[in-house]
Structure 1
């Protein structure tokens, strides 16, 4: 009789399989050359069957994690993960993003043992009310209150990702290999900190701004929404997040004053100032009642006819900034000899170095590079200066301006 591995956690196997986009237990079994029934039992918490040590090592190698990965509890929560779950989105893509979010939460929790991340500074804008009671004017007011609380003024917004990190939100960016998912937001069940994962696919700065503001809105408005309500009220929740994100980027007190004669040319000009896409501006003008619905539809048709749905002018004018908090924290840990790179991989992180590098925004191969040693040059005091400085005389240039 083969003896399994004590402490094996089936949910971790499911998580790793989904993080590798392996669509089913049967697909994993084929990759291992094993029975589908066997791998299914490993993911079933009620079966009591687990892989033995040798098989666990094979499993870890196939999924590119350390064997210890399957012995640590997962970072799962009863709170929902906020993502734009579209009917056309593959279940495999949705599961991949949720698994990556769990890994991001685990990484930031580990880093938090050594580095004090910024405290979470998200004000209670609901004041005990339910998000279901919010009206459009309430959301507009919340956007202005957030700007005042974070001292952002009422002009064009700076880099939203930097703002999110400053107020204690952990942000990461990874390629999602699909245009159906732009980002997701979830609160960690361990440290009660919001985490946001943004896509890098077909990215531009205006799109990054809106995606980040959308996920920021989820963190502000929907942190207490239970899973069953999220599924039932998805449409309302997404509409609220988009409205708050738009209001945050284009405040009702200032943005409309820049809009004189709405047209694509004018909105393109405003894009340079507000760093928001033309498409998002059309929606914002319609939401504020500045343009009627029939005119917004005309603008959308003209927008599509120009081919801007595939990319707007000026999209690549501004560099897309990357999150810095996790990257800088790991560099700080290693450079100050708190833990070495090898030590971190051997004892703290159970996922691969490539996964940590991707989620933390580190250069590929960062863990394999030797840490640079900083050498301070000793100042020589026994050498006499060879150049003697004397007082200088200031000579004025002659005034050659024409005389009247």
Structure 2
């Protein structure tokens, strides 16, 4: 039995260290004036910190001491990260830890409200990703659109669309331009989770990133860690092809681009909300333009300086996730749990991390809800005179 505090979960220390971008056990030891071998034994499970040191460790890592006693939920499925070879290990570990925290938050929220049901059709029909051809990916994109009743036109903002069909989406600053997003099926509730980057983000880029991670959830649900490492290039190519086919369906988009040029693609971007660069790739994939013309378009694209910023990028605000944010508001507003109760009973990570991952404004947990004063209606004003958006309420758990 490990020496120290009973019930200490060593994997949770590794997770917290990764979430705080502490690159190694020795770096943590130096920062806390500890012996490196001591931290190493904590993480391999051969010993555990005593209660006093555990409290100090929790304070340093910004978690509650209870964090280290919650079971670690490790998935047999990999987390899909696009740049495994070129991204710093520290960045990959940070994103993986943030993904696990997002999954724990959504699971805690689901104790109180019914989140949207996962509605993902079995478009693979038992096939392996190894068997997929380009025509299969085109068919799957159209099948998805039919199942979700999206038609063959622009699909709108991908973030609320995915949330509507049971995906949990979070947006955080990644701290690196080499990571655009990641996707993982939660081992806790078997629900797909997507974490997107806010770094240098435009609406069109977020659209493709969200569709790309959706594609991983659908095509590569049963891929193993070993397969991901071995076939990363193939898996990424498939995800991009499905994402492009979903956003720009083969039945309609090419018809609108009979005379492709950068000018027509700018117009198409305004309608389809897909980047010009992605449109060039899409037309080339569909053999709607020859390879040499695609190369010519890429050169013109670069000459215009669009590699840094495309037309409309500053005009559209990227969509933000709402499901977890609205669910937490509902829990508090309905008096099911107070903010302090949530932090004390459900979450072992600090308020700032919960706010960041759920899209709540900074300081939400420490600010009391404002008193709502309802104005009397003007007698001469017709009721319901202003147009409002659709309100989707979450049912409370029975």
**TM-score relative to the length of structure 1:** 0.91
For residue 216 of structure 2, the aligned residue among 212, 215, 218 is 218
The reply to whether residue 27 of structure 1 matches residue 20 of structure 2 is no
Return the alpha-carbon distance in structure 1 between the equivalents of residues 372 and 59 of structure 2: 36
- Offset of 1:233 from its aligned partner? 1.2
- Offset of 1:350 from its aligned partner? 0.2
Q: Which runs of 5+ in 2 are unaligned?
A: 381-398
Return the alpha-carbon distance in structure 1 between the equivalents of residues 169 and 71 of structure 2: 22
1:327 partner SS: helix
Partner residue, 1:291: 289
Q: Is the 8 A contact 2:84 2:92 kept in 1?
A: no
Q: Is the 8 A contact 1:84 1:181 kept in 2?
A: yes
Return the alpha-carbon distance in structure 2 between the equivalents of residues 145 and 325 of structure 1: 25
- Offset of 1:225 from its aligned partner? 1.0
- Offset of 1:87 from its aligned partner? 2.4
- Offset of 1:266 from its aligned partner? 1.6
- Offset of 1:255 from its aligned partner? 0.1
Partner residue, 1:316: 314
2:44 partner SS: coil
1:146 partner SS: helix
Return the alpha-carbon distance in structure 2 between the equivalents of residues 295 and 72 of structure 1: 57
Query: Residue deviations 1:88-122, cap 9 Å, x none?
Result: 21110000000000000000000000010011000
Query: Residue deviations 1:303-332, cap 9 Å, x none?
Result: 112211111111122121200000000000
For residue 340 of structure 1, the aligned residue among 338, 344, 359 is 338
Partner residue, 2:4: 4
Q: Is the 8 A contact 1:183 1:215 kept in 2?
A: yes
Return the alpha-carbon distance in structure 2 between the equivalents of residues 14 and 87 of structure 1: 21
Partner residue, 1:397: none
1:196 partner SS: strand
For residue 281 of structure 1, the aligned residue among 279, 282, 307 is 279
**TM-score relative to the length of structure 2:** 0.92
- Offset of 1:57 from its aligned partner? 0.7
- Offset of 1:70 from its aligned partner? 0.4
Partner residue, 2:79: 81
Partner residue, 1:400: none
1:70 partner SS: helix
Q: Is the 8 A contact 2:80 2:182 kept in 1?
A: yes
- Offset of 1:14 from its aligned partner? 0.1
Partner residue, 1:137: 135
Partner residue, 2:15: 15
Query: Residue deviations 1:40-59, cap 9 Å, x none?
Result: 111012x2x10001100111
Return the alpha-carbon distance in structure 2 between the equivalents of residues 151 and 110 of structure 1: 31
- Offset of 1:375 from its aligned partner? 6.0
Q: Is the 8 A contact 1:111 1:330 kept in 2?
A: yes
- Offset of 1:276 from its aligned partner? 0.5
Q: Is the 8 A contact 1:165 1:325 kept in 2?
A: yes
Return the alpha-carbon distance in structure 1 between the equivalents of residues 51 and 3 of structure 2: 8
2:356 partner SS: helix
- Offset of 1:269 from its aligned partner? 1.5
Q: How does 1:36-185 map to 2 (within 5 A)?
A: 36-45=36-45, 47=46, 49-185=47-183
